[in-house]
Amino acid sequence: MENLIDWSKVPNDPVFQLVFPQREMLDPEQYHDVETLLRKGHAQDSLARVIQRIRLDLNPYPAGQLTHNVPIFEGRPLWGLQHKYRETVLFFPFHGQSCHAYCTYCFRWAQFINMEGVKFASKDTVDLVAYLKAHPDVTDVLITGGDPMIMRTTLLRKYLEPLLIPELDHVQNIRIGTKAIASWPYRFVSEPDADDCLRLFEEVIAANRHLAIMGHFSHPVELEPEIARAAIQRIRNTGAQIRMQAPIIRHVNDDPEVWASIWRTGVRLGLIPYYMFVERDTGARNYFEVPLVRAYEIYRQAYASVSGLSRPVQGPTMSAFPGKVRIMGVITLRDIMDDRMIETFSRAHGGVPAIHADEPVLICDFTQARDPALVKTVFFAALDPHVTWFDQLRPAFARERFPFADEGDRERILPSYSVTECLLH
Pairing of strands 272-278, 314-319: parallel
**CATH 3.20.20.70 residue spans of the chain:** 59-313
Contact 144, 178 (CB under 8 A): no
Distance CA 325, CA 389 (A): 10
Alpha helices in 273-418 (DSSP H): 285-288, 292-304, 333-336, 339-348, 410-413
Instruction: Domain 59-313: state its class.
Output: alpha beta
Distance CA 244, CA 178 (A): 10
Contact 384, 394 (CB under 8 A): yes
Secondary structure E strands in 139-194: 140-143, 173-178
- Listing DSSP states for 333-349 in one string gives HHHH--HHHHHHHHHHT
- Give the tens place of pLDDT for each residue, 338-349: 888 877 877 776
Query: How does 80-102 read in b/e, with b if 16+ C-beta sit within 10 Å?
Result: bbbbbbbebbbbbbbbbbebbbb
- Give the tens place of pLDDT for each residue, 31-81: 999 999 999 988 888 999 999 999 999 999 898 888 899 999 999 999 999
What residues have CB less than 8 Å from 318, skipping those under 6 apart? Answer: 277, 278, 280, 324, 325, 326, 389, 390
Higher-confidence position of 335 and 324: 324
* Dihedral (CA of 373, 378, 382, 384) sign: positive
- Give the tens place of pLDDT for each residue, 368-415: 999 999 999 999 999 999 999 999 999 987 778 888 875 334 333 333
Pairing of strands 72-73, 76-77: antiparallel
The closest alpha carbon to 158, from 198, 200, 120, belongs to 200
- Listing DSSP states for 258-280 in one string gives HHHHHHHHHHHTT-EEEEEEEPP
Burial of 129 (0-12, 13-18, 19+ CB in 10 A): middle
Distance CA 324, CA 365 (A): 8
Mean of per-residue pLDDT scores for the chain: 91
- Give the tens place of pLDDT for each residue, 84-102: 999 999 999 999 999 999 9
